[in-house]
Structure 1
Amino acid sequence: MGEKLSFHSSVKFGDIFIPSHDTTDSGESDPDLDVPPSSSSLASTEGEDDSEDPGSGWIGRNGEVWFSTNAETTPFLQPARGVTPGPTCYAIARVQNIDSVFNLFFTEEMIDLIVSMTNLHGRRTMRNWTEMDSTNLHAYMGLLILAGVYRSRGESTHCLWDNRSGRFLAIFRATMSLSRFHEISRALRFDDKLQRPARHREDKLAPIRSLWEMWTHRLPLLFNPGKDDTEDEQLVPFKGRCSFRQYMPKKTAKYGLKIWVTADVGTSYAWMCDIYLGKTGNAAEVDQGKHVVMEMTEGLQGVTVTCDNFFTSYPLAQELLRKKIALVGTIRKNKPELPPNLVQAKGRPALSTVFAFTKNTTAVSYILKRGRNVILINTRHREAVVTEGPKKKPEIIADYNRCKGGVDNLDKVVGTYSCRSRTNRWPQTLFFNMVDVSAYNACVIFTAVDPSWNQAKLFRRRLFLEELGNSLVSATILRREHLPRAPVAASLVREIQSSAAVPPDTDPQTPAGTRSSEGKRGTCKWCRTKKKEQQSALASVVVGTLAKSIK
């Protein structure tokens, strides 16, 4: 994220770090939070202190005055948050097993929307369309997740079903046929296509708007981020036709859908997402980075946001302070509020540092190599502190390097086991990314609720995704009437169905509130809910059998 600094500290990837459930230290509110910013002081680590009357070299082009000491700078007090970092009470109360965590992100309402719109489009476009239900959709999503676990992104789906050539996996044939999988993929829709033109004139995201809003509403509801958060953009690879497709040359994919993401630094949990739909009209976008950060931090308090020079500005730092949020970020050298002495790099020795202070903001200019400097501003560190070591890095830069990789790590872990497949329709690409992010967020929540789950394993996330995929497809395998032709897949179906046989004293077809022909009382609605939990536990047994069979 941001400028690539040669001195950055390493950010650990591949494992999931769960924040402590202890509440963060609280204190009185920072006295400068509601006070308009005023010029105060400036400090430099080289040479003698300047006089209290600043020269023209310490005044920005917009008139902002910086000084040489932090004598008048108010100390930073961490505002009280009022929440405990980690899964919310709402999420913890609903976590029973792995698939129950995933269902917190894709609720019954969202599943019903996808099922109804897919069936509607299937009936309109396919002659022999077979109606699908929520079980079929869960099985389809489970196969997508398993395909990501087996690193089949970009691989032809025929290789996953073909038992004579390619990479045959029995679980795919045991769940559904290849033709059925392709049939669902072609019909997968998230809105009524006939009513789309009227909505699309005002909303570029009309094909998936309803599902997107329901999904993004769930993200902050299930997790409280820690005291350090990252704001950055995520590029979802896509090269098809899309009116808001973006070109980002510094990204690996270059072309795709840009999504603004606010992520927790410790776990890389995607706390808030918003897709960029391009500029409105022909007018140039002014202060876009500032507006994005203000919207993406709505609801946060008592945290520190780290962002790169696309977002950072002095007015943004002051606005966030009024919301009791601190800012740490690199800033571009052409910003009018920066003084010339801070921007100037010519003539300064390598590894030298210049600090500048106002009442509530600290800026630092650090020389990496002779003639090249990097500038950061922040509202959290308000002292001229330089870390020990050969590079003499300022503490602000060390803190920035520690926190800047929240969204970058999210991109890395999501891309490792991604379920994305080739498609020319951007709504489907966005849906695949939603499944990937939801699966990762679910892993973060589940391992936070149950830290002892496979604690000694170094590949916990892969085990989580494999068990999640097996759990989602188990219901479809249990109710399958015809066995697949492949002997290995057929034996897998028989083994699963025999291990999960329904006890003879239960009659699942007896309506609730009625008596059966033998005089037995029907099941009430509360018992049906309990029965679903029992069936979910039974599915866990099936998943275990399934995992052993695959291995």
Structure 2
Amino acid sequence: MRRRFNVNEALEVFQQLEEEGESASSSSTDDSSCSDEEAEDQAFTPGPDSGEEMEEGSDEELRFFLTTTILDVIIKYTNIEGRRKYDDWTDVDRVELRALFGLLILAGVHRSRGESSASLWGEETGRPIFRATMSLGRFHMLTATLRFDDRLTRAARRLVQQDKLAPLREVWDLWAARLPLAYNPGEDVCVDEQLVGFRGRCNFKQYMPSKPAKYGIKLWVVCDVATSYAWGIIPYLGKTTRDAPAERGQGKRVVLELTEGLSGRTVTTDNFFTSLVLGEELLKKKICLVGTVRRNKPELPPQLLQMKSRAVLSSLFGFTSTATAVSYIPKRRRNVLLLSTKHHQVQIQEGPQQKPTVIIDYNRCKGAVDNLDKLVATYSCRRKTRRWPMSLFCNMLDVSAYNALVLWLSVEPAWNQQKRSIRRRLFLQELGTSMVRPAQARRTRLPRSSSAAALLEVQQQVEPGPAQEQTKKRCHLCRGKRSVHARFCHACGQAVCKEHSTAVCSACSC
């Protein structure tokens, strides 16, 4: 295994690769002098998404996100890293990579996030489908070499492009661009943050005590309120440098970027994002804003901030030309402030609580991202890792699998209606099983476990794999010899060597 490059060496390699790419595009050179990795980089061309046929089963729903281009990028860098790290490396293809992702999803279905891989592949404690798909050693090899960029040029790209997400940027952009293409959200959407738990080394890791994970990578997410479909995601990377000034108006920038293309909707936000300036900018895009607002905003009327002379369950309203400010006191020393560009005639709900309609609409829409975070964490495919790109990619798999369920139910709303409480688990189980079936069908060696071997035999009978070519075998007539020969008898079909075989011409054979 090669040692890691320092910054100067990586920068030289990165510049050298750029010069070689420019020279290759301007003039034709001899490919025989290039190394295997450079030849693969030059020959890599992502395939079109519409050119590959859709597979049967729930796997095709996931292909809205893990399409041909994304798989080819991951395969490319995984094979490069595997050749560097292992001498006996065997290149991975789409079938095996899909099987790896399917096993991760199935591990999440069994809620085995804290369970070791050896236990999942164990004879007594494991599940037969894991042993029937691939060996434990191959699983460890693939997870250790799974990469989304070239590791040797990573430091140079971080310096040149000033991108902290460089280890995952190529795959992340391809995945994030596909989220809004498959689904049209309803009238109400919600913008909030999601924390992907991670406690390893990461220079943009955040501490959020209100989240269950406390430490991790923060993501800005916009979700559909009715289904919690993740329509857009932006990672929070912090400052570009330590000396850089703090960003002003960050909440406004995030909401405007996430709601691009959502005209005619109502966006619900919390007090980190909400402001009158944001509401006016969204109105230009024909988007309404409803959200809590902080007390230090200058656009709030002073009478809305007073609490001493007001009774419990009292409400005050402040109106401007573009927005409505609401102050509601549910209990003593508690003042809830909201800003809305949608409600211009605020009404009080009849009942013991006497809540304004703005409060009711905000409570109905505020938890879409939190609901997505809860659902994703229930059957998460994340494994214990010290690499933050791997942790973030597993979250991408979780979000993609949940979005696939939303798409499937929008097409087939009556699917497993009688098992409504567990049909998400049933969908994930069917999804993971359909992704590992092609790898099981083409496997030649049976596992040692009897249960896994029986499962594999049944699966191969249902879906027979491709015909295997005859390989070299030992001569069945050589006693005590270890010679291997490639000749086969035309009568009995067994392997024979030159000493135990005769050559017959075509005329005599007739």
Common topology (TM > 0.5):
yes
Q: 2:89: which partner in 1?
A: 129
SS of 1:206's equivalent in the other structure is coil
- Distance (Å, rounded) in 1 between the aligned partners of 2:275 and 2:172: 30
Greater relative contact order (CA < 8 Å, ≥ 6 in sequence): 1
Q: Distance in 1 between matches of 2:86 and 2:309?
A: 72
Query: Larger radius of gyration, structure 1 or 2?
Result: 2
Task: Give a deviation string over 1:387-431, Cα, whole Å, max 9, x none.
Answer: 011111111000000000110110011111000111000000011
Matches of 1:243 and 1:266, distance apart in 2: 35
1:346-373 Cα deviation digits (max 9, x unpaired): 2211010001111221110001212221
Cα offsets for 1:136-182 (capped at 9, x unmatched): 10000000000000010121111111113xx3100000001111101
What residue identity is the alignment partner of 1:358? Answer: T
> Do structure 1's residue 460 and structure 2's residue 460 form an aligned pair?
no
Query: How many angstroms apart in 1 are the aligned matches of 2:158 and 2:467?
Result: 45
Q: Which residue of 2 aligns with 1:383?
A: 345
Match of 2:67 among 77, 85, 107: 107
Match of 2:139 in 1: 181
Counterpart of 2:336, as a letter, is V
Structure 2 counterpart of 1:314:
276
8 A contact 2:189–2:365 mirrored in 1: yes
Q: Which residue of 2 aligns with 1:60?
A: none
Letter in 1 for 2:317: F
Shift in Å at residue 279 of structure 1?
2.2
The alignment status of 1:487 with 2:453, answered yes or no, reads no
Q: Does 1:411 align with 2:373?
A: yes
Checking the alignment, whether the CA contact within 8 Å between 1:348 and 1:370 is kept in structure 2 is: no
Distance 1:477 1:239, change over 3 A: same
1:234 to 194, 214, 219: 194
CA distance in 2, matches of 1:224, 1:156: 39
Q: Secondary structure at the match of 1:402?
A: helix
Q: Which has the higher helix share?
A: 2
What TM-score, normalized to structure 1?
Answer: 0.73
Q: Which of 355, 363, 366 is residue 328 of structure 2 equivalent to? A: 366
Q: Give the AA of the match of 1:376.
A: L
Q: Is the 2:329–2:336 Cα contact (8 Å) retained in structure 1?
A: yes
Q: Does 1:332 align with 2:294?
A: yes
Distance 2:432 2:382 in 1: 15
Number of matched residues? 413
TM-score, normalised by the number of residues in structure 2:
0.79
Write the distance in 2 (CA, Å) between the matches of 1:413 and 1:474: 26
CA distance in 1, matches of 2:467, 2:291: 59
Measure, in 1, the Cα distance between the counterparts of 2:100 and 2:237: 28
Q: Which runs of 5+ in 1 are unaligned?
A: 1-89, 511-551
Q: 2:165 aligns with which of 187, 199, 205?
A: 205
Q: Distance in 1 between matches of 2:190 and 2:54?
A: 27
Separation in 1, partners of 2:56, 2:90: 32
DSSP 3-state at the match of 2:201: coil
Query: How many percent identity over aligned positions?
Result: 56
Offset of residue 94 of structure 1: 6.8
**Is the deviation greater in 389-398 or in 337-346?**
337-346
**8 A contact 2:75–2:94 mirrored in 1:** yes
Which of 212, 217, 220 matches 2:177? 217
Deviation at residue 300 of structure 1 after TM alignment: 1.0
CA contact (8 A) 1:350 1:370 kept: yes
Greater than 3 Å deviation, 4+ residue runs: 93-97, 507-510
CA root-mean-square deviation = 1.7
